[in-house]
C-alpha cells in the first residue's frame, strides 16, 4: 500500500464526507432558529420574521452577518484563554457527535461498535463549555449559571444512561445501526413508551432548553453563563445550543423512533428513501422542542432536582429491571 493509496486518498475521502455532514447541519441550525421563530409566532398568533426576504427566509443569514460584524468584547477580569475556548468547545462537541449517527442504512461516517457510548460521552461533555464560560467570565451571574448547569446536566445524565441501558437490553448491541435494525418490526417507543417520554424530557434538560433553561435564566440571572459573551463568541453558544437540539432529536430518533425505517414496511412508504424518514422524524422531535418552549413556564431549581433524582432516576432504574425480567421470562433476549 503506497503513500497515496494508504494515507492521502482516505484522508481526502474522510474530509469530504465530514463536510457533507457538517455543512448541511450548520445550514439546518441556521434555519432551525428561523423555524423556531415562525412556529412560536404561529402559536402566539403572530407572523414571526417577515421582513428580510420572502416570508423572512433570509432572516437567519442577516442575523449571522450581524453577529459576525459585531465586536467581540472580552471582559478585563476574564480568564482569556478559557473564556475563548468555552464557546468553541460547545459548538465543536455539538458537531463531532454526528460522526456516528446513521442517516440511512450504511450512511454513517464512523460505524463504530460502541456508537451509543460515544454519543453518551459527547453529550456528557457538553457541560464543560457552560461551566468554563461561567467561571472564566469572572462575573457572579455567569458563575451562578455555570454552577446550575453543572448540577443539572449531571443529574439528568444518570437517568439518560439508564434509559440507554434498557434500550440496549432489547438490542444486544452498542452499534447505532444495529439499534435501528432491531426496530424493524416494532419501534422502541411503543414497548418502552415511558422511557421514551423520560428520555425526551431528559434531552430537553440536557440541552438547557425551556422549561429547564435555568443556567440561562434571563429573568433571574440575566442570561446566566452567556452574560459576558458578545458577537461571534455568543453566536457559537447559540448555534451550539441549536446543534445540540438537532443532535438530541437525532439520538431520540435512532433510539426510539426507528431511525431511517419507514413506519409501515410496505409500499408506498418504503419507496421513500430512509434519509427522508430520518429527517422527518428529527423534524418532528424538533417541533416538540419548540412546542414545549412556547407552552411551559420555567421550572424552579428544587423542582428540577426533584424531577431528576426522585422521579426519573427511580422510574428508569425500575424499568431496567422490568425490561430485563420480561426479556428473560418470555425468552425475548436478542440472539
Partner 1 sequence: MVIQGLAFYLFALITVAAGVMVITARNPVHSVLYLILAFFNSAALFLLMGAEFVAFILIIVYVGAVAVLFLFVVMMLDIDFARLREGVVRYLPIGALVGLVLLVELLVVLGAWTIAPGGETRIASPQPSLESGLTNTEALGNLIYTDYVYAFQIAGLILLVAMIGAIVLTLRTRTVRRQRIADQVNRRPEEVLVIRKVEPGEGI
Binding site for partner 1 (CB under 8 A): 7, 79, 82, 112-114, 117-118, 120-121, 124-125, 127-128, 131-132, 135, 143, 146-147, 150-151, 153-154, 157, 161, 174, 302-303
Nearest approach, Cβ of 150 to partner 1 (angstroms)? 5
CB 99 within 8 A of CB 109: yes
Nearest approach, Cβ of 229 to partner 1 (angstroms)? 18
CB 54 within 8 A of CB 44: no
Nearer to partner 1, 115 or 240 (CB): 115
Nearer to partner 1, 164 or 226 (CB): 164
Nearer to partner 1, 153 or 204 (CB): 153
Q: Would you state the cell numbers that stand for residue 238, as one nine-digit string?
A: 447559540
Nearest approach, Cβ of 18 to partner 1 (angstroms)? 17
Q: Does residue 139 sit in helix, strand or coil?
A: coil
- 331 φ/ψ sector (left φ>0, alpha ψ -120 to 50, else beta): left
Q: Would you state the cell numbers that stand for residue 135, as one nine-digit string?
A: 467561571
Residues 6+ apart with CB under 8 A from 302: none
DSSP state of 331: T
Nearer to partner 1, 58 or 317 (CB): 317
Nearer to partner 1, 71 or 302 (CB): 302
Nearer to partner 1, 257 or 307 (CB): 307
DSSP state of 55: G
Nearest approach, Cβ of 197 to partner 1 (angstroms)? 18
Q: In this structure, what are the phi and psi dihedrals at residue 66, rounded to the nearest 5 degrees?
A: -60, -45
CB 293 within 8 A of CB 209: yes
Nearest approach, Cβ of 297 to partner 1 (angstroms)? 16
Nearest approach, Cβ of 92 to partner 1 (angstroms)? 13
Amino acid at each position: 500500500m503506497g503513500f497515496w493509496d494508504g494515507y492521502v486518498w482516505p484522508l481526502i475521502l474522510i474530509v469530504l464526507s465530514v463536510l457533507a455532514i457538517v455543512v448541511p447541519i450548520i445550514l439546518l441550525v441556521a434555519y432551525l432558529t428561523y423555524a423556531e421563530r415562525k412556529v412560536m409566532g404561529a402559536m402566539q398568533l403572530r407572523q414571526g420574521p417577515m421582513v428580510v426576504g420572502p416570508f423572512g427566509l433570509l432572516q437567519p443569514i442577516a442575523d449571522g452577518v450581524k453577529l459576525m460584524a459585531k465586536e467581540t468584547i472580552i471582559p478585563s477580569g476574564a480568564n482569556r484563554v478559557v473564556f475563548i475556548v468555552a464557546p468553541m468547545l460547545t459548538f465543536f462537541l455539538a458537531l463531532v457527535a454526528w460522526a456516528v449517527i446513521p442517516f440511512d442504512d450504511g450512511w454513517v461516517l464512523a460505524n463504530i461498535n460502541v456508537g451509543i457510548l460515544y454519543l453518551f460521552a459527547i453529550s456528557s461533555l457538553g457541560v464543560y463549555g457552560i461551566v468554563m464560560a461561567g467561571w472564566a467570565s469572572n462575573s457572579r451571574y455567569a458563575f451562578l449559571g455555570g454552577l446550575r448547569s453543572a448540577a443539572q446536566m449531571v443529574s439528568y445524565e444518570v437517568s439518560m444512561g439508564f434509559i440507554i441501558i434498557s434500550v440496549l437490553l432489547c438490542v444486544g448491541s452498542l452499534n447505532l445501526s444495529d439499534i435501528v435494525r432491531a426496530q424493524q418490526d416494532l419501534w422502541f417507543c411503543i414497548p418502552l413508551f415511558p422511557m421514551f417520554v423520560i428520555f425526551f424530557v431528559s434531552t430537553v434538560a440536557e440541552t438547557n432548553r425551556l422549561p429547564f433553561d435555568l443556567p440561562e435564566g434571563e429573568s433571574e440571572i440575566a442570561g446566566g453563563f452567556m452574560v459576558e459573551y458578545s458577537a461571534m463568541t455568543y453566536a457559537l453558544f447559540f448555534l451550539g445550543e441549536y446543534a445540540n437540539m438537532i443532535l438530541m432529536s437525532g439520538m431520540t430518533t435512532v433510539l426510539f423512533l426507528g431511525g431511517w425505517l419507514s413506519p409501515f414496511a410496505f409500499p408506498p412508504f418504503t419507496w421513500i428513501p430512509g434519509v427522508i424518514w430520518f429527517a422527518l422524524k428529527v423534524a418532528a422531535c424538533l417541533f416538540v422542542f419548540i412546542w414545549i418552549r412556547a407552552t411551559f413556564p420555567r421550572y424552579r431549581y428544587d423542582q428540577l432536582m426533584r424531577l431528576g433524582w426522585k422521579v426519573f432516576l427511580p422510574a428508569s432504574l425500575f424499568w431496567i429491571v422490568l425490561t430485563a425480567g420480561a426479556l428473560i421470562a418470555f425468552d425475548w433476549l436478542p440472539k
